[in-house]
Amino acid sequence: MELVFEKKFTLTNGMFDEYYGIKPYAILDIFQRVAGDHADLLEIGHNYCTENNYAWIIVRQEVYIYDTPVPMETVIVKTFPHEPSRVECKREYEIRSLTGTIYAKGCASWVLVDLNGFKMLKSTNIYPEGEFVESTLFKEKLVKPTNVYSEENVFSKYTVVKSDIDIYHHMNNAKYAEVLFNNCDYKAVEIKRFAVNYLRQSKERQTIDIYKKVENNITYITGVIDNEVIFTSLVERN
């Protein structure tokens, strides 16, 4: 059995900005939901985590956008995991039209965490028996965002609100995409690529200091709380 999962989604109006580009948050939210559905099917999802006091946490992810869907369009979302390393589980995603047009691709690195002490667990045997996909969806080279935490790059602040918080009492990974989008000067339809490297948790009422640097067509954004870097990220324009 090949460990590949597909599901149809209808893209609602709220997933798009005023220029009819799909928002980065919407893409990450779809990826997160389909990953959760696949994990449930493999019996390593919500119930498994609840019973063992575990959590799947994303440590980094990157998305490429190739084309623009339209509001209320039904799309197919595909996901599959690669064979895990010692603690890291890489998973890839694809959003395509019913006729095969590729809208977006993504890659995320997940870790399984024991919430008793927040310790990362070995994941080499976490998946049921099956055939891992060895090839990658990406022709592009995936890179980690540059840290631009420096006094000359001070830009804005963001206070974490309760609607950002998920069941693990921290800001949900997809919500960081809203911080990126709101602090770059691009319309959603102009975005070619975005990436986030998650380093520490942020919680309700904490204030994130936003540092920003623009180089050519790439905006680098770093979030800091109490002089500790919480995330690094980038948004690239077409």
- What angle, 0 to 180 degrees and rounded to 10, lies between the N-to-C axes of helices 175-183 and 24-41? 160
Segment holding 211, helix H or strand E: strand 207-215
Beta-carbon contacts of 116 under 8 Å, excluding residues fewer than 6 positions away, are 53
Instruction: Tell me the average pLDDT across 85-104.
Output: 95
Q: Name the architecture of domain 151-237.
A: Roll (3.10)
With a cut of 70, say whether residue 1 has pLDDT above it: no
Looking up tokens 């319309």 gives 187
Better-scored residue on pLDDT, 205 or 133: 205
With a cut of 90, say whether residue 5 has pLDDT above it: yes
- Boundaries of every domain in the chain: 5-120, 151-237
User: What angle is formed at CA 87 by the lines to CA 52 and CA 78, rounded to 5 degrees?
Assistant: 85
Q: What is the pLDDT of residue 2?
A: 64
DSSP β-ladder status, 88-97 and 102-114: antiparallel
DSSP β-ladder status, 228-237 and 218-225: antiparallel
Region 5-120: CATH code: 3.10.129.10
Tens digits of residue pLDDT in 151-177: 999 999 999 999 999 999 999 999 999
Looking up tokens 């891992």 gives 132
Backbone angles phi, psi at 115, to 5 degrees: -70, -15
With a cut of 70, say whether residue 183 has pLDDT above it: yes
Q: What is the pLDDT of residue 15?
A: 97
Q: What is the pLDDT of residue 137?
A: 84
Better-scored residue on pLDDT, 129 or 58: 58
Q: In this structure, which amino acid lies at residue 61?
A: Q
Instruction: Tell me the average pLDDT across 36-47.
Output: 94
Cβ–Cβ < 8 Å for 22, 68: yes
Cβ–Cβ < 8 Å for 25, 178: yes
Checking phi first, is residue 84 left (phi over 0); if not, alpha (psi -120 to 50) or beta?
beta
Tens digits of residue pLDDT in 47-69: 999 999 999 999 999 999 999 99
Q: How far apart are CA 147 and CA 82, in angstroms?
A: 27
Cβ–Cβ < 8 Å for 234, 219: yes
Domains 5-120 and 151-237 belong to one CATH topology: yes
Helix (H, G, I), strand (E, B) or coil at 178: helix
Q: How far apart are CA 199 and CA 59, in angstroms?
A: 7
